Amino acid sequence: MSKTADMPALKHAFLERLVHYYHFVSDRMRDAEDGATVTSTEIAGLIHMDDTLVRKDLAAIGVRGLPRVGFRSAEVVDAVRLLLGFDQSYRSVLVGAGRLGGAMASYGGFTRYGLEIVGIFDNDPDKVGAFITPHRVRPLEELTEVVRQRQAELAILTVPPSAAQEAADRVVEAGVRAIWNFASAIVTTPESVFVRHEHISVGLAELSHHLKHSGSVAEG
Amino acid sequence: MSKTADMPALKHAFLERLVHYYHFVSDRMRDAEDGATVTSTEIAGLIHMDDTLVRKDLAAIGVRGLPRVGFRSAEVVDAVRLLLGFDQSYRSVLVGAGRLGGAMASYGGFTRYGLEIVGIFDNDPDKVGAFITPHRVRPLEELTEVVRQRQAELAILTVPPSAAQEAADRVVEAGVRAIWNFASAIVTTPESVFVRHEHISVGLAELSHHLKHSGSVAEG
DNA sequence: TAGATTGTTAATCGATTAACAATC
DNA sequence: TAGATTGTTAATCGATTAACAATC
């Protein structure tokens, strides 16, 4: 019933599961026929999770299954794409043309998720003017102009930690609504700007913790 | 009481909070005196969370506070470092010398977490021999030798999706105990090998979802 | 001492799982 | 039909929060 009613901040774990479903089902569809279906058990097997949860999740995003058959793959994929916003195109500016910035700028995979980079900026004169695939690195002074002209909604920050807050301030002032922060520094922004902080150290913590503590421990 | 007794797979959310504490407290310590303390409320303020949870978490990793004073910053930082394994050094090999691989190889921040890259590999003859900061890119054939000689425990995969499974197979065969997978493809490994899949698309999903659905919605 | 903060138990909340009826 | 799978309610589990006594 609820549809997309009010939609408060969806829980991270839920979104993560949806992304998993999306990848699993869309991968499967590649070498399958048009009306292909997938069962909740098949999806659940992927991540060692309970199939009931898969059905709950799919029900939550409005996908109805067919008893004895499963779920239409195309329907699953479309529903997730719609909910996550992968069906729309988002223009974004990238600040920080270092190695990571360059890697992200030239990574082609974002288009699959509707992300389009419309400008790359750096305040290092040595970098300004360089070409990164289809873009020329511009000076930060041109940021506001580009954000307004191209109506960019998102900013990707790939600057050093020390430059993160200033970069955040500038993109906020320029008018973006969300920030994808790859700098390993927490930035503060007005409430209205959504920040996703991609901290590499969380992943590393999990690995490091595992390596340290798995030595002689028997597997459950 | 439990100490570090059996220590099963710690919950992701818990580890993530610990990493937050670690960064917040160690940042604060930089411009503070030696015996500096921090209260659970101060830590909690950082992420808009309940201070009780902070105290629970710290108690769980064996840090005892001082009523009326708070927690000794150094003690907090040390306990987290110890639990997460940041106090130890882990040797790792990096497979895939593309842009992302290069960015990671030359990123100096990992040492803070005890990660040391001891070799970079690629099967593209055009890349083999190139220098990435202190390393020369080696052919994949040399992988096993390096892993054994340097006793590398971790492999970082920054290869294209299509090459991910093969790369995983090779590093597993060479003897690593964990994989940090940046390829946007799920890889399967023996149970004994721990895999952390860093899927960029989860972060993107959260942002994309926000951008799509936050238009006219009033903030809670 | 009075007051601030910890530590811990109990209460709540939400997410996951189990059970099973509904359905094609 | 018989059987497989969905959909949903109820039960469980675990994580978070509230309350408050213990403590320096």
Question: pLDDT tens digits for A144-174?
Answer: 999 999 999 999 999 999 999 999 999 999 9
> Which CA-bearing residue is nearest the C1' of D7?
A55
The Cα B48–Cα B51 span in angstroms is: 9
Average pLDDT of the residues of chain B: 90
What one-character DSSP code corresponds to residue B25? H
Question: pLDDT tens digits for A37-53?
Answer: 999 999 999 888 999 99
A127: three-class secondary structure by DSSP: coil
CA distances from B155 to B23, B46, B81, B130 (A): 25, 33, 21, 20
pLDDT at residue B208 tops 70 = yes
Q: Which residues of A touch B162 (CB under 8 A)?
A: none
Of B19, B46, B106, the CB nearest to A202: B19
The average pLDDT across B107-125 equals 93
Long-range contacts of A180-184 (CB under 8 A, 24+ apart): A180/A92, A180/A154, A180/A155, A180/A156, A180/B203, A180/B204, A180/B207, A181/A157, A182/A100, A182/A104, A182/A156, A182/A157, A182/A158, A183/A96, A183/A157, A183/A158, A183/A159, A184/B109
The Cα B31–Cα A203 span in angstroms is: 28
- Please judge whether B210 and A204 are an interchain contact, meaning their C-beta atoms are less than 8 angstroms apart: no
Sequence-ordered list of residues with C-beta below 8 angstroms from that of B106, at least 6 positions apart, any chain: A99, B132, B133
Asked if B220 and A57 count as a contact pair (C-beta separation under 8 A), the reply is: no
Q: What is the 3-state secondary structure (H, E, C) of A163-189?
A: HHHHHHHHHHHHCCCEEEECCCCCCCC
- Please judge whether B180 and A84 are an interchain contact, meaning their C-beta atoms are less than 8 angstroms apart: no
- pTM for the whole thing? 0.89
B7-21, B25-39, B76-90, B161-175 — which is least confidently predicted? B7-21
B7: three-class secondary structure by DSSP: coil
pLDDT at residue A117 tops 70 = yes
First vs last C-alpha separation in chain B: 40
What one-character DSSP code corresponds to residue B214? -
The percentage of residues in chain A with a pLDDT greater than 90, rounded to a whole number, is 75
pLDDT at residue B216 tops 50 = no
Q: What is residue A215's predicted lDDT score, i.e. its pLDDT?
A: 67
Per-residue confidence band for A8, with pLDDT thresholds at 50, 70 and 90:
very low
Q: Let me know if A29 is exposed, middle or buried by CB neighbors in 10 A (0-12, 13-18, 19+).
A: middle
Q: Hunting for tokens 């998102």 — which residue is that?
A: A154
Q: Hunting for tokens 């977490």 — which residue is that?
A: B113
Question: pLDDT tens digits for A188-202?
Answer: 999 899 999 998 889
The average pLDDT across A167-186 equals 95
Asked if A15 and A85 count as a contact pair (C-beta separation under 8 A), the reply is: no
Which of B153, B147, B157 minimizes the C-alpha distance to B186?
B157
Q: Which residues of A touch B207 (CB under 8 A)?
A: 154, 178, 180, 194, 196
CA distances from A87 to A11, A81, B9 (A): 21, 6, 36
Identify the closest residue of chain B to A97 by CA–CA distance.
B103
The Cα B76–Cα B64 span in angstroms is: 9
Of B7, B19, B102, the CB nearest to A205: B19
- Please judge whether A213 and B4 are an interchain contact, meaning their C-beta atoms are less than 8 angstroms apart: yes
pLDDT at residue B3 tops 50 = no
Q: Which residues of A touch B178 (CB under 8 A)?
A: 207, 210-211
Of B10, B192, B211, the CB nearest to A85: B211
pLDDT at residue A124 tops 50 = yes
- Please judge whether B113 and A208 are an interchain contact, meaning their C-beta atoms are less than 8 angstroms apart: yes
Per-residue confidence band for B7, with pLDDT thresholds at 50, 70 and 90:
very low
Tokens of B216: 């006219």
Q: Let me know if A61 is exposed, middle or buried by CB neighbors in 10 A (0-12, 13-18, 19+).
A: middle
Tokens of B73: 């910053």
Size of interface A-B (CB pairs under 8 A): 162
CA of A53 vs C1' of C17, distance in Å?
8
A135-144, A184-193, B79-88, B172-181 — which is least confidently predicted? A184-193
The Cα B76–Cα A136 span in angstroms is: 45
Q: Which residues of B spanning 108-137 put their CB closer than 7 angstroms to strand C?
A: none
Identify the closest residue of chain B to A9 by CA–CA distance.
B210
Q: What is residue B43's predicted lDDT score, i.e. its pLDDT?
A: 95
The Cα B2–Cα B215 span in angstroms is: 48
Give the largest CA-CA distance in chain A: 63
Per-residue confidence band for B5, with pLDDT thresholds at 50, 70 and 90:
very low
Q: Which nucleotide is nearest to B43 (CA to C1')?
A: C5
The percentage of residues in chain B with a pLDDT greater than 90, rounded to a whole number, is 75
pLDDT at residue A76 tops 70 = yes
CA of A14 vs C1' of D14, distance in Å?
17
The Cα B203–Cα A192 span in angstroms is: 18
- Residue B31's identity, in one-letter code, is D
- Please judge whether A178 and B103 are an interchain contact, meaning their C-beta atoms are less than 8 angstroms apart: no
* Cα-based angle B194, B117, B180 (whole degrees, multiple of 5): 25
Per-residue confidence band for A10, with pLDDT thresholds at 50, 70 and 90:
low
CA distances from A191 to A79, A194, B187 (A): 29, 7, 38
Higher pLDDT among residues B24 and B219, named by residue: B24
Q: Which residues of A touch B204 (CB under 8 A)?
A: 110, 113, 115, 180
- Residue B127 dihedral angles phi and psi, to the nearest 5°: -95, -30
- Please judge whether A186 and B84 are an interchain contact, meaning their C-beta atoms are less than 8 angstroms apart: no
The Cα B29–Cα A90 span in angstroms is: 39
Higher pLDDT among residues B163 and B11, named by residue: B163
Q: What is residue A7's predicted lDDT score, i.e. its pLDDT?
A: 42
- Residue A57's identity, in one-letter code, is D
The Cα B164–Cα B95 span in angstroms is: 10
Per-residue confidence band for B4, with pLDDT thresholds at 50, 70 and 90:
very low
Strand C, nucleotides < 7 Å from a protein CB: these are: 3-9, 14-19, 22-24
Per-residue confidence band for B122, with pLDDT thresholds at 50, 70 and 90:
very high
pLDDT at residue B110 tops 80 = yes
Of B103, B184, B214, the CB nearest to A109: B184
- Residue B104's identity, in one-letter code, is M
Per-residue confidence band for B21, with pLDDT thresholds at 50, 70 and 90:
very high
User: Chain B closest CA to A102's CA: distance in Å?
Assistant: 7
The Cα A118–Cα A125 span in angstroms is: 20
Tokens of A68: 């004895």
Determine if residue B68 is left, alpha or beta; phi over 0 gives left, psi from -120 to 50 gives alpha, anything else beta: left
Q: What is residue B191's predicted lDDT score, i.e. its pLDDT?
A: 87
The average pLDDT across B158-168 equals 95
The average pLDDT across A10-27 equals 90
Q: What is residue B220's predicted lDDT score, i.e. its pLDDT?
A: 29
The average pLDDT across B61-76 equals 96
B215: three-class secondary structure by DSSP: coil
Best of B120, B192, B208 to substitute, by most chain A Cβ atoms within 10 angstroms, is: B208
Best of A204, A209, A213, A219 to substitute, by most chain B Cβ atoms within 10 angstroms, is: A204
CA of B14 vs C1' of D11, distance in Å?
26
